[in-house]
A and B are shown apart, each in its own frame.
Chain A
Amino acid sequence: MYIIVIGGGQLGYHLTKALLSEGHEVLLIEKDAKTSQKLIDDLGSVAIRGDGCEASILAKAGTSRADMLVAVTGDDEDNLVACQVAKNKFAVPRTIARVRNPRHEPLFRKLGVDVTVSSTSIILEHIEHEMPSHPLMHLMVMHDRGLELLEVTIPTGSTSVGKKVRELPIPAETVLSLIIHKGQKPVVPNPDTVIAAEDQVIAMAPAEAEEALRTALAGA
């Protein structure tokens, strides 16, 4: 595949090296004079100096034959514009933008960016996993469906302890997929499954139902 990477910071540099080692054709575009010179010294003709949001630079880079453009500069607005120019002027099939502010993700997708990656969200999720007091964790987000795969650990004092699944105010369109009782194998819950403290519940839910699900399962 021919992949264009915009932004030669740490992320862009290591991404470029990883893609090269996988055998892809890669071009790294960096705006800053000093940084781009270092990249050219290191990577040779794989790196060029230029503003990846400018149509003339992207034309020079042969963007119209690119299979993918990945914009990983430190500024959300630059990543958005690079992807929009690639998509709309050069018909790049797949554009991926790094997003610093997680709240920008829905806007970017609405504006035609195919995939958004929020480093902030990813780091937050990992930290969540390391916090035992946190009953709800995001396992996966399916942006194209608006769904989240969640894991809820039932706190000892929760109102759901001792209740059957059918008695809980589980929000609509939410599916409890698995329950893992402590020290046991996972089971697919039915309406009569009784919730116990320290159970792990795996659920698929629309993003907007997350709070209601948290209250239903882990509320005190």
Chain B
Amino acid sequence: MGCGRVGAQLANTLDSEGNDVTILDTDAYSFDRFLSPEFHGTALLGSGIDEDMLRKAGIEKADAFIAVAHGDNRNVMACQMAKHIFHVPKVICRIYDPQRRDLYMLLGLDAVSPTTLVAQVFRDKLGI
């Protein structure tokens, strides 16, 4: 869910590794902009917090669901749908706000905060 730079790059990578990938976004332009011309998967126009759209994307058969759309809350809600309604075995959520990320980790959601990770990368690069 989410075909921005991160979502598209991840989709391209997973696809080139031979996985069956479906990518969702609410803006068709982002597919043209970011997906590789070699992408063999499915690009689906729609919202990841819409149950019907998730079904259409084949979430009932999915082994993994990753939410990297704009907006922490959208990702959080979609991931909770994937986990609690569709029982997807592996669900990973991007949450920029580190405090929110910590809370949802406690609530059982596997979540990544790019804020914390990137800040640490910069910190390390300083080499002091």
Residues of A in contact with B (beta carbons under 8 Å apart): 53-56, 75-78, 80-81, 84-85, 88-89, 101, 103-104, 107, 110-111
B84 CB contacts on chain A under 8 angstroms? 107, 110-111
B76 & A77 in contact (Cβ 8 Å cutoff): yes
| Contact pattern, B 35-52, Cβ under 8 Å of A = 1, otherwise 0 | 000000000000001110
Q: Which of A54, A77, A104 has the most CB of B within 10 A?
A: A77
Quick one: given A107-B85, A111-B84, are A81 and B73 in contact (CB under 8 Å)? Answer: yes
Quick one: given A77-B73, A78-B73, are A54 and B97 in contact (CB under 8 Å)? Answer: yes
Closest to B49 in A: A77
B106 & A77 in contact (Cβ 8 Å cutoff): no
Q: What number of B residues sit within 8 Å (CB to CB) of A?
A: 19
Question: Which secondary structure dominates where chain B touches chain A?
Answer: helix
Closest to A59 in B: B99
A42 to chain B minimum Cβ distance, whole angstroms, is: 27
A53 & B73 in contact (Cβ 8 Å cutoff): yes
Contacting B80 at CB < 8 Å: which of A55, A75, A78, A107?
Answer: A107
B85 & A84 in contact (Cβ 8 Å cutoff): no
Q: Top 4 nearest A-B pairs by Cβ distance?
A: A77-B73, A77-B77, A55-B99, A81-B73
B73 & A54 in contact (Cβ 8 Å cutoff): no
User: How many inter-chain residue pairs (CB < 8 Å) link A and B?
Assistant: 49
Asked if B87 is at the interface (CB within 8 A of a chain A CB), the reply is no
Asked if B81 is at the interface (CB within 8 A of a chain A CB), the reply is yes
A58 to chain B minimum Cβ distance, whole angstroms, is: 10
Within 8 A of A (CB), among B66-86: 71-74, 76-77, 80-81, 84-85
Give Cα A81–Cα B72 distance, bound, in whole angstroms.
9
A53 CB contacts on chain B under 8 angstroms? 72-73, 97, 100
Contacting A81 at CB < 8 Å: which of B50, B76, B81?
Answer: B76
B99 & A54 in contact (Cβ 8 Å cutoff): yes
Closest to B74 in A: A77
| Contact pattern, B 81-111, Cβ under 8 Å of A = 1, otherwise 0 | 1001100000000000101100100110000
